[in-house]
Amino acid sequence: MGRHAEIRQIDALIDAARQGKGGAMVLRGEPGIGKSTLLGYARQAASGFQVMEAAGAEFEMELPFAALHQLCAPVLDHLVGLAGPHRQALEIAFGLDTGTPSPLLVGIATLGLLAETVRERPLLCVVDDAQWLDHASAKALAFVARRVAAEPVAVLFALREQPGEPSSEQGRLPELDRLPALALGGLAEADARALLKAEVRAPLDERVRDRILAEARGNPLALLELPRSAGLGGMAGGFALPGASPLSSRIERSYQARLERLPAGVRLLLTVAAADTVGDPVLLWKAAEQLGVEPGSAETAAGAGLIEFGTRIRFCHPLARSAAYNSADPGDRRRAHQALAAATDPATDPDRLAWHHAQASVGPDEGIAAELDGSAARAQSRGGVAATAAFLERAAELSTDPERRIERVLAAAQAKLEVGDYERTAGLLSTVATGSPHQMARADVLRGRLSFVRHRGAEGAASYLLGAARRLADVDPAWSRARYLDAIEMGILTGGLDEIVAAARDTPPGDGTDVLLDAIVSLVTEGHRAAVPVLRPLISDVDGEEWTRRPSLALILAAELWDFDSMRGIASRIVELGRRQGSFFTLPIGLSMAATAGVHAGDFRAAMEMISEGTAIVEATGASPLVYPSIHLAALRGRKQEAMELFERVLAASQLMTISVHWATAALNNGLADYPAALAAAQRAVASRDLANAGLALPELIEAAMRCGEEEQAASALRSLTERTQAAGTSWGLGVEAYARGMVTGDEDSYRAAVEHLDGCPATVSRARAHLVYGEWLRREGRRREARERLRASYEMFSDIGMEAFATRAATELRATGEHVRSRANAADDELTLQEAHIARLVAGGETSREVAARLFISPRTVDAHLRNIFRKLGITSRRQLRDLDL
């Protein structure tokens, strides 16, 4: 009633799915606003569709993949059509196999399962009460909902929200915030009047009717339920609703009023039904028998219109369930949970058994806490981090042993942090005021990581790690020094490095990390000549376990030492490790490192592929994007508007990237020959004294300063660069130093040395720039013939790489020598997006749509849709033609 606009949007979603253009929508609104009714309309409108349904349940939020299993149960026979790893991931998630599934693999496997299902007919997935989805199911379903664009699938969620409080602020389901939403408001007054008139057939005083309408604010359930609870007598006497409490509370009280009129045995039966979210009649009647509930109570409860008894037990509305549970006497609630525990099979459902025991507990109980520990371990093995946190948190509440309580709180905080529930993580950590030195140090580590991921007080994140390291400096030196390394890695990213290094310098010696920590301390305090002899062999050992634990530190140190081979080798190791372990935490980091190395190697295409794959993973997991390689690529590609838009977006998202953007801005503007802008940006990057970025910015500063006539500034920067590169002794560093020296001194031997050092070095970008600045010097010296040779070589390298700004600069210099420069043809894939270019190369390499889909976490139909765009942009019609192009 009165939902014409909403119905049009639902019809459009279903019609699009019928035509093979899938989509998703989240119906958001306060309790009773009509979300479930609209879901019911969608079921009726989806004629010819297969309908799959699930509903979140408050007491199942701790059980991983419970809602997903509920949704997929009718189509599990299609599992045989999935690839082995995907099939196994779902089987483990649904308890059909043992192991630890990747949540991301579960998501892509679910997408594959639905793709198999829609071979027969279109599909409508309906998920009610999404605010009560377990976290694992929420992530998987949100993943699927974002990737059905090319499938005949419509996904509808109903999500309860209190007015003015978005779900993300309530700590609920940020995964669903990225989906299209339809916010439901109250009915218009005319529709509300019509609904009330249809419900209340007895004569009603107009003033009373107006008061009901005003209080209900167009909420359909309020208009239906509140007159029922008041009765005709109440309405005749002047119906008045309390205005101070939320509408949902008023509606719940209307259900409570109906409950109060029922016999005690019936209310107890409803309490048991509310405490069990499985909805299994066998389980309910076993529990009811334990409590001595009369069989006839079910008929009375059903007659009250509050509950339906069938193959699955359902309350008429979630608020009715809440009322049945919350209005019960606490003792009755505990008895209900005890009876359900007695009725639950400990072999097949030990986690639900432990949870009922916990709810039935009157006070602390170490035995039940130990049961919950076991449930937490099982939840962890199934990928249920949210369930792990919930079990551990309840176990901590029931602990009688103070030390075990703190251990459980710390473990729960760690799990809550992993699951992204940062407010609850902070709350748990606030309870850890005392404990052993190790426990307090671990709490500090968690506080530091929490501070970092929340993007609030990021500068203080490293100080927490520093505090943890200091706590155990005398008690456990090895652990302490490892935390100093963690603090240094974070300090490089967030600031405060000098304080951390000063503290680390005074710490007692430990085992294992002594050499690396001491070398970094020496690098910061004494300079490159003192530290590099120790750091070089460590960085050269690309298989060192230290780098798998701290990959960001590895990349930073390799860049600081101008060690291109180690940078690329460590990146390859991290990518290999991430793929082998199936770790979607490690793999994006490795891809980001490898892509950054690929950019400086001049292999922009490989870098774009790795950026595309890394982006697909972080989008699928909801992690923060790793933008370093995109910044480097944009800077060296040289498309000014595109690059500056990216830099602005990056800075708006995180100030931690400021120094990287300064370097990138300097490199971009040197390519564009805007030397004043390049100088200003390079000055800011060098002034930061940031490891890696400050060193990379020195050549940019030297070039820009010389072009702007700031010769003394360039000479000072050259001295700093020389200290780094001479100590490192790598061909990359020595080559860059040599051409920078040539620009400052005008010494031709320096230019020649640069070309020799960089000849054969994988740092192709630097080699091309060495030829460019040598050629520019030769032209200014009037040696045009020799200048053409160098400038032609640089122009060809820049053009082959795709460094458009530097290629234009080289072409301009070539024309100044009198040579005619022919524009080189654009690459075939220049008009393609990053993802389209990646898909095109994978298909050109012989991969099928299904193989590409698995790699990029999309559906095969989505791959085919991208291919149609690719064919149109490239002017081809087949995969065979794609293989013949230069991609």
555 with 650, same domain: the answer is no
Q: Half-sphere exposure (CA, 13 Å, Cβ side) for 279?
A: 20
Q: Are 319 and 259 in contact (CB under 8 A)?
A: no
474 with 494, same domain: the answer is yes
Return the bridge partners of 50, or none: 123
- For 84-96, give the secondary structure using H, E and C: HHHHHHHHHHCCC
Asked if residue 451 belongs to a domain, the reply is yes
pLDDT at 723: 94
Domain boundary among 476, 495, 526: 526
178 with 95, same domain: the answer is yes
pLDDT at 380: 66
Nearest to 705 by CA among 684, 733, 685, 678: 678
Q: How far apart are CA 557 and CA 37, in angstroms?
A: 59
226 with 205, same domain: the answer is yes
378 with 493, same domain: the answer is no
Three-class secondary structure of residue 23 per DSSP: strand
Domain boundary among 626, 656, 681: 626
Three-class secondary structure of residue 230 per DSSP: helix
Asked if residue 254 belongs to a domain, the reply is no
pTM of the predicted model as reported, rounded to 2 decimal places = 0.70
Asked if residue 572 belongs to a domain, the reply is yes
Q: How far apart are CA 389 and CA 404, in angstroms?
A: 15
Q: Which tens digit of pLDDT belongs to each residue from 61-89?
A: 777 788 898 899 889 999 988 878 888 88
Q: How far apart are CA 164 and CA 287, in angstroms?
A: 40
Domain boundary among 595, 611, 626: 626
Asked if residue 31 belongs to a domain, the reply is yes
For residue 157, the surrounding DSSP H or E stretch is: strand 153-160
209 with 278, same domain: the answer is no
273 with 348, same domain: the answer is yes
413 with 269, same domain: the answer is yes
pLDDT at 406: 92
447 with 418, same domain: the answer is no
777: domain CATH number is 1.25.40.10
Three-class secondary structure of residue 123 per DSSP: strand
pLDDT at 239: 39
Q: Are 702 and 686 in contact (CB under 8 A)?
A: no
Q: How far apart are CA 780 and CA 800, in angstroms?
A: 26
Q: Which tens digit of pLDDT belongs to each residue from 554-570?
A: 989 999 999 999 999 99
210 with 292, same domain: the answer is no
pLDDT at 237: 39
Q: How far apart are CA 736 and CA 731, in angstroms?
A: 8
Q: How many domains does the chain have?
A: 8
Asked if residue 858 belongs to a domain, the reply is yes
Asked if residue 806 belongs to a domain, the reply is yes
Residue 491 CB neighbours (<10 A): 24
Q: What is the DSSP string of 653-707?
A: H-GGGHHHHHHHHHHHHHHTT-HHHHHHHHHHHHHTT-TTHHHHHHHHHHHHHHH
Asked if residue 717 belongs to a domain, the reply is no
- Extract the residue ranges of the chain whose pLDDT is less than 50: 164-171, 231-245, 456-457, 512
Which amino acid is located at 838 in the chain?
A: H
Q: Are 546 and 714 in contact (CB under 8 A)?
A: no
393 with 310, same domain: the answer is yes
For residue 51, the surrounding DSSP H or E stretch is: strand 50-55
Give me the numbers of helices (H) and strands (E) for the chain, helices first please.
Answer: 46, 7
pLDDT at 824: 62
- Measured N-to-C along each axis, helices 366-381 and 385-398 cross at an angle, to the nearest 10 degrees, of 170
- List CB contacts of 590: < 8 A, sequence separation 6 or more: 551, 571, 572, 573, 574, 575, 576, 577, 578
Q: Are 125 and 153 in contact (CB under 8 A)?
A: yes
Structural domain range at position 373 = 260-434
Structure tokens at 582: 């199936």
407 with 519, same domain: the answer is no
Q: Are 63 and 384 in contact (CB under 8 A)?
A: yes
Q: How far apart are CA 435 and CA 858, in angstroms?
A: 47
Asked if residue 715 belongs to a domain, the reply is no
